[in-house]
Structure 1
Amino acid sequence: MKVATAQLPALADEDRVLVTDHGVIVLDGATAHDPAMPAAHEYVDTLGAELRSRIDRPGDLRGILAEAIAATADHLQLHSGIAPSSTVALLRVCDNITEILTLGDSPVIVGRADNGFDIVTDTRLDDLHLPESTQYRNRLASGSGYDETHRGLLRVLQRKQRERRNHADGYWIAETDPDSAYHAVTARYPVESVPWVVLATDGAASPLAPMETSWPDIAKMDAAGLRQLLERGRHWEANHDPDGQIQPRSKRHDDMTIAVALP
């Protein structure tokens, strides 16, 4: 498997990408808008290491993720509800099968032999439709910018999201509960039917739409091309939409991480 990656950190620098013989791991640690919540740096470092040590071995990806979450929570002595969290996007190519897992809003785009593609994604956080989420997006679209009211809305939103974290009527994410892994979105394909796979954090995927860059085109890029792509995305945010009016988003700039794998 040939893999090319690129990253462009923002202030948080809580994305991680790891590559093994048979797998690719992409993590996006949750930014702590609420000062009561810890930053996710140590969490994604530890979870990434635990996944890297397990992903190439046989076994269900959900079970491997569950073990990694449990080991991370134990190592860092974390407690549910006041712990950092992270999205997880996994690719494993083994025994002529391409396996995909995503938990949280980091999409995995799977190329098909007919030149189309599937997007494997988890929309359950957005599907909560919390009023603060709609409110901050509407304010940005109206030109309010990233002011103190915006930051206050994000703090309230994050507290409400935390109340619904890893619950049947909420959404699922990597935190302290290993059972969350069994709620991940998964997909399996014969290796010969998958010419390419792209894994991205939402910070990398979001600016691509206004730039009209297609996933099949991205799949042809090497590491240098991917880096240039992310720099174009950052330039678009900074110069064409600095206040989030065109594309309302919680932060002016997010960490950007992308990986292209050719199984």
Structure 2
Amino acid sequence: MQVTMATSPSRPEGPNEDFTAALPHAAVLLDGAGIPVNDSCAHGVAWYTRRLGAALLAGLAADDHQELTAILAAAIGEVRDLHADTCDVDSPDSPSATVVLLRLDGGRADYLVLADSVLLLDTADGEPVVICDERNATFAAQHRAAMIAASHGTPEQHRAHLAYIEAVRVHRNRPDGFWVAAAEPRAAYEALTGSVSVGDLRAVALLSDGAARLVTPFALIDWAGLAELLRQEHPAEIVTAVRAAEHYDRDGQRWPRAKLRDDATIAYCTRLGG
């Protein structure tokens, strides 16, 4: 398998809270979330995604045919143990992450998607298949509306943001809310999982939601167009196009959104048959 990657932090001076890495037979992408440094955890979101990514790589490298959900559950537990003695890991303010995993196992491609990062399956003979955990998007649509509608930097937007954060605290990793990787290993078993034949695929792309903005919410291209663009261009060109669109709409008027800029990461996997 050949994997081509691109990543860009939302701000050049800030940490990149995304993570991506690959093994000869697997790829991992995480998109961190949470308050960067807070009273519950002094390590920060980037620390969490890097530690969780490393634990996932170790689990995948073992190549012992464990279910991807079991690998993710073990990794969540491992990272929880790294800072359980110093941080309030059960706090809803503690760092969390979306997770996308791809693993080749013989002639099969196994995948796992938890929360709103995207797995794009570029099929050999049809429309691309998009796998994304819509529970996160559904929750966000219900609770972010006031925050997105308000002008950035205004008192109204600040109040709406605080209300959204409180809603996240109540609904994170709950059956009536949404599921992410944080400190609760059982969240792994809420992920979307499946397998497809390697022979049915031309390529697979793992994208953080920041990298998927050309499709949603900007609607400058559709998923089929993005799959075609990835066949022709380096993933860095897609990230550059996202940045250009964000800069064009730097006040969020054309495309209302919670973050004017977001970390953007792509791992593009080809030559899946070896």
TM score, norm. by length of structure 2: 0.87
Q: How many residues are aligned here?
A: 256
Structure 1 counterpart SS, 2:210:
helix
CA displacement 1:189-225 (0-9 Å, x = unmatched): 0111111111100011013444326222233145xx2
Matched residue, 2:236 = 227
Matched residue, 1:42 = 47
Which of residues 108, 112, 115 in structure 2 aligns to 1:104? 115
Report the more deviating stretch, 57-66 or 126-135: 126-135
What is the aligned-residue RMSD (CA, Å)?
Answer: 2.0
Matched residue, 1:83 = 94
Matched residue, 1:211 = 220
Distance 1:154 1:12 in 2: 21
CA displacement 1:143-191 (0-9 Å, x = unmatched): x234343233223212211211111111110001100000001121011
Distance 1:47 1:221 in 2: 32
Matched residue, 2:157 = 150
Return the letter of the residue paired with 2:257: R
Matched residue, 1:61 = 68
| Structure 2 contact 33–95 (Cα < 8 Å) conserved | yes
CA distance change for structure 1 residues 192 and 29 in 2, over 3 Å: closer, same or farther?
same
Matched residue, 1:123 = 134
Matched residue, 2:8 = 8
Structure 2 counterpart SS, 1:206:
helix
Which of residues 25, 30, 37 in structure 2 aligns to 1:27? 30
1:244 paired with 2:218, answer no
CA displacement 1:128-147 (0-9 Å, x = unmatched): 366541112223xxxx2343
Percentage identity across aligned positions? 28
Consecutive unaligned residues of structure 1, counting only runs of 5 or more, are none
Distance 1:129 1:42 in 2: 24
Which of residues 72, 75, 78 in structure 2 aligns to 1:71? 78
Consecutive unaligned residues of structure 2, counting only runs of 5 or more, are none
TM score, norm. by length of structure 1: 0.90
